[in-house]
């Protein structure tokens, strides 16, 4: 089995092997994937973190040993913008990029030499709290909505909550309807705790949107941009326009606190 790692700040993961194809997700720097099919321009990969499959530019990846891919601990960049050195040149990484490959701040991956001596967050020892997840979520505030995005440079609704939960060692699937399949059901909005997730459906009953509840009447979610809106038993009300934008389906809890 062959493995690769993303060697750019973030790489588009596309549905098909060309630049015009839909971006279905992103692979952030340091994230690892199984190499399913290698091509000159594009390679098909399966991301180890969430199992998502797609096509990524071959030049944005580099091969790694099996032991590195399977055994590297989670260590994430802690700042909105983190600068590392790649072959002695600066590279800016978004919040939540993976630096688990580093040992004592350094790593060599083929022709790439990486070094960093700044702060990292370690999800395995992170303590979940309302203040901690709220502070983290606020770092994404006003990030533009980008279909398939997973970073502070552009993010979608399910990518947003997936990244937030990653900091607290809670792994969520990539898509909202998949995320809704786990967690403990919260029966009433009045019982909400900060960190619960609210899911919203369309006319056909399919879950199409998710957001993080800050309390029983406030939600932060990616819709146009990462924004804070009001929520009631019917759904989300845009705080700028007063328009009702999303219909509430269910609420799930993933942390006990």
Enzyme catalytic residues: 157, 209, 221
What single-letter DSSP state applies at residue 180?
T
Give 165's contacts (C-beta < 8 A, 6+ positions apart): 171, 172, 254
Which residue matches tokens 């609210």? Answer: 198
d(CA 147, CA 43): 21
Q: Counting Cβ atoms within 10 Å, is residue 256 exposed (0-12), middle (13-18) or buried (19+)? A: exposed
Hey, what are 169's tokens?
């060692």
Q: How far are the Cα atoms of 68, 203, 206, 229, 248 from residue 73, in angstroms, in the given order?
A: 9, 42, 35, 36, 36
Q: Count Cβ atoms below 10 Å from residue 234 Cβ, excluding itself.
A: 11
d(CA 10, CA 192): 34
- Does an H or E element contain 54, and which? strand 53-57
Beta bridge partners of 152: none
Are the CB atoms for 237 and 231 separated by under 8 Å? yes
d(CA 114, CA 111): 10
């Amino acid at each position: 089995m062959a493995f690769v790692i993303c060697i750019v700040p973030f790489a588009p993961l596309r549905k098909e092997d060309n630049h015009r194809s839909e971006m279905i997700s992103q692979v952030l720097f340091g994230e690892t994937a199984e190499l399913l099919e290698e091509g000159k321009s594009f390679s098909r990969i399966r991301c180890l973190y969430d199992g998502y499959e797609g096509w990524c530019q071959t030049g944005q990846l580099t091969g790694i040993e099996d032991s590195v891919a399977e055994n590297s601990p989670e260590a994430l960049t802690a700042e909105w913008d983190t600068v590392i050195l790649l072959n002695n040149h600066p590279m800016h990484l978004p919040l939540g990029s993976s630096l688990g490959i580093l040992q004592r701040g350094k790593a060599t991956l083929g022709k790439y030499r990486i070094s960093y001596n700044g702060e990292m967050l370690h999800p395995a020892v992170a303590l979940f709290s309302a203040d901690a997840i709220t502070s983290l979520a606020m770092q994404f505030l006003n990030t533009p909505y980008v279909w398939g995005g997973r970073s502070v440079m552009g993010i979608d609704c399910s990518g947003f909550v997936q990244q937030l939960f990653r900091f607290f060692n809670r792994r969520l699937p990539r898509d909202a309807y998949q995320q809704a399949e786990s967690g403990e059901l919260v029966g009433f909005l009045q019982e909400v705790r900060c960190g619960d997730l609210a899911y919203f459906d369309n006319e056909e009953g399919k879950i199409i949107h998710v957001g993080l509840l800050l309390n029983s009447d406030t939600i932060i979610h990616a819709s146009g941009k990462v924004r804070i809106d009001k929520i009631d038993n019917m759904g989300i009300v845009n705080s700028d326009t007063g328009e009702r934008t999303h219909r509430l389906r269910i609420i799930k809890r993933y942390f006990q606190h």
